[in-house]
Amino acid sequence: MPKPIRLNAFEMNCVAHQSPGLWRHPRDRSRDYKKLDYWIDLSKTLERGLFDGLFLADVLGVYDVFGGNAEAALRHGTQTPVNDPLLLVPAMATATSHLGFGVTVNLSYEPPYAFARRMSTLDHLTGGRIGWNIVTGYLDSAAQGAGKPKQTAHDDRYAIAEDYMTAVYKLWEESWADDAVVADARAGVFTDPSRVRRIRHDGPHFRIDALHLSEPSPQRTPVLYQAGTSPAGRDFAARHAECIFMSGPSRKVIAPRVAAIREAAARLGRDPSGILMFTLLTVIVAPTDAEAQAKLAEYRRYADPEGALTLMSGWTGIDFSKLDPDAIVQHVENEAGRSALENITRADPDRTWTVREVAEHVSIGGIGPVIVGSPATVADELEAWVDETGIDGFNLAFAVRPETFRDVVDFLVPELQRRGRYKTAYRKGTLREKLFGGSARLPPDHTGANYRQVWQAIEAV
C-alpha cells in the first residue's frame, strides 16, 4: 500500500499571500478576505476535497525590509493589510464537520496564560479541530509594534519558545483533571475544586501562578505545527511538532530537511514516522496539460515581481531593492528566518539564483514549486515528491483564490483517489485522531504528555 498523500490549504487573512499581484486577476476573490462568506465557501470546498486542514498563516508586522519602509508592502498588498486568523475559525467550523484549522500565533508577543485560553476556547468550539502553528516571527516591524527596537536574536527566540511551551503544556495538560467538571445540579457542584490545580511556573522567561481558565477541551493541547528548519528550529520541531511545514523550490532541497528532522525526533525517543511533514507547493491543474499551461500563462500576466521581492525581503531580512536584478543572491546570516535564504543560496550546491529569477519564481506560490498539468501529470509529480523526499503531503498555496483550490478538489483529488493515494473519507474524531489515528490527546512519546502525569501521580497516592 503506497503512502497516502495529504493535503492542507495554505491561506492567510490578507490579500496577497504567496502570489503577489494575482489579486488583480478578474476571477480572484482576494478582496473578499474581509467577508465571512469567502471563508465559509472556501472551508466547504476544502472539506468536499477531504483536505486535512486549512492552515492560516499570520504576521504581526508589515514587510518593510524592501526599500527600508512599508511603501512597497502597502502598494502591492503583500500580506498587508492582514487581519487576525483566529477569528475566522468559529464561522468555518460551523459550516464544516471535519476540516481541521491550523492557526498561526506568534508566541513572541502574547503571554502564554491568555493565549492558552484562546486556544482551549477554539478547541471547544470546533469540537477538537484546532491546531497551532508555533512561530516566533521574523519581522523587526512586529517587534516594534510590541514596543521593542528589534526582534530577539534568532536562536534566543527558540530558547524563549521552549519556556513558552512548558508554560502552555502545564496550563493545557496539568491544571484540570478530566473529571473535574461534574455539573451535579442536585449537589450544586459544577466543578470539583479538588480536581483543579493551580499552575506555578517559574521559568527563565515566563511566570504563571494561576489556574487554567478553561475546562479540558477535546484535544487539550491543540495539534502542534511548526515550520523552522534551521538547526535551532529543527531541534525545536523534533521536540514539539506533530506536523511540520517546510518550503523549498525542489525535492533536492527538501529531502535532506525531512531526513534531518526525522533523525532528530528519533534521537529524542519519538517515533519519527509519527511526525507529518508538509511542503509548500502550488498546483495549476486543468483537464489537459495544454489547458493547464494556458492557465499558468494567463496567471503570469498578473504576477508582480516587486511584490515577490517585498515578501522575500521580509522573509530573509535582506533588502532586495538594493541588489542588481542580474546579481546572484549570496548568503548572509541575520536574525530573520534562516531557511528562506538557504533555499536559494546554499541548499542546492548545483543551483544559483539571480534576483530576477527569485522575483519571477516567488511571484506565484512563494518559494515552493509550481506544478502544472493535467490531473495525471500533476499526480505523477506529487507522487514523485512524496516517494523521493519522504514528506507526507503538501501545503497548497493558491494562485487565484479560490479557483486554485476548487481545481485541485475537482480535478486532482479524484485522480489521486483513483491511484489509491488519497483518502475517500475522513476518519472520525478530532483533528489529532484524523491525522494520526489513536487518541485525541498528545501521544505518550510527546514531551507535552509528561505534564498530564501529575494527575496519574495524585491518583496513585
Ligand X SMILES: Cc1cc2nc3c(=O)[nH]c(=O)nc-3n(C[C@H](O)[C@H](O)[C@H](O)COP(=O)(O)O)c2cc1C
Contacts of 314 (CB under 8 A, 6+ apart): 59, 63, 64, 65, 66, 73, 78, 79, 138, 139, 336
Name the residue nearer to ligand X (CB basis): 104 or 214. Answer: 104
Among positions 151, 282, 389, 395, the unique one binding ligand X when judged by CB under 6 A: 395
Please count the residues of this chain forming the interface with ligand X, following the rule CB under 6 A. Answer: 22
Closest CA relative to residue 315, chosen from 255, 241, 243, 368: 368
Chain positions 312 to 351 lying near ligand X, rule: CB under 6 A, are 337-339
Return the beta strands (E) in 107-203 as ranges.
130-135, 181-184, 189-191, 199-202
Among positions 247, 313, 343, 389, the unique one binding ligand X when judged by CB under 6 A: 247
End-to-end C-alpha distance for the chain, whole angstroms: 47
Give the 3-state secondary structure of residue 242: coil
Q: Which three cell numbers stand for residue 229?
A: 528548519
Among positions 49, 53, 128, 137, the unique one binding ligand X when judged by CB under 6 A: 137
Minimum distance, C-beta of residue 142 to ligand X, in the bound complex (Å) = 8
Among positions 58, 140, 306, 407, the unique one binding ligand X when judged by CB under 6 A: 58
The region of 13-21, 225-233, 260-268, 427-435 touching ligand X under the rule CB under 6 A is 225-233
Give the 3-state secondary structure of residue 448: helix
Instruction: Considering only CA atoms, give the Rg of the chain.
Output: 22
Minimum distance, C-beta of residue 399 to ligand X, in the bound complex (Å) = 16
d(CA 288, CA 294): 10
Sketch the per residue contact string, 258 through 287, with ligand X: x for CB under 6 A, - otherwise: ----------------------x-------
Name the residue nearer to ligand X (CB basis): 80 or 106. Answer: 106
Among positions 51, 113, 172, 245, the unique one binding ligand X when judged by CB under 6 A: 245
**What crossing angle do the helices spanning 375-389 and 251-267 adopt, rounded to 10°?**
40
d(CA 208, CA 203): 9
Residue with cell 491568555: 114
d(CA 298, CA 25): 9
Asked if 423 contacts 309 with a C-beta cutoff of 8 angstroms, the reply is no
Minimum distance, C-beta of residue 233 to ligand X, in the bound complex (Å) = 2
- Where does 49-97 have alpha helices with state H? 71-76, 89-95
Minimum distance, C-beta of residue 81 to ligand X, in the bound complex (Å) = 15
Name the residue nearer to ligand X (CB basis): 138 or 451. Answer: 138
Residue, CB closest to ligand X: 233
Minimum distance, C-beta of residue 247 to ligand X, in the bound complex (Å) = 4
- Where does 317-420 have alpha helices with state H? 339-345, 355-362, 375-389, 403-407, 413-418
The region of 66-74, 228-236, 249-257, 289-297 touching ligand X under the rule CB under 6 A is 228-236
Name the residue nearer to ligand X (CB basis): 337 or 402. Answer: 337
d(CA 319, CA 67): 6
The region of 26-34, 132-140, 175-183, 449-457 touching ligand X under the rule CB under 6 A is 132-140
Minimum distance, C-beta of residue 77 to ligand X, in the bound complex (Å) = 17
d(CA 197, CA 455): 9
Among positions 106, 219, 313, 363, the unique one binding ligand X when judged by CB under 6 A: 106
Among positions 8, 79, 229, 374, the unique one binding ligand X when judged by CB under 6 A: 229
By CB under 6 A, residue 61 contacts ligand X: no
Site residues (vs ligand X, CB under 6 A): 57-59, 104, 106, 135, 137-138, 227-230, 232-233, 245-247, 280, 337-339, 395
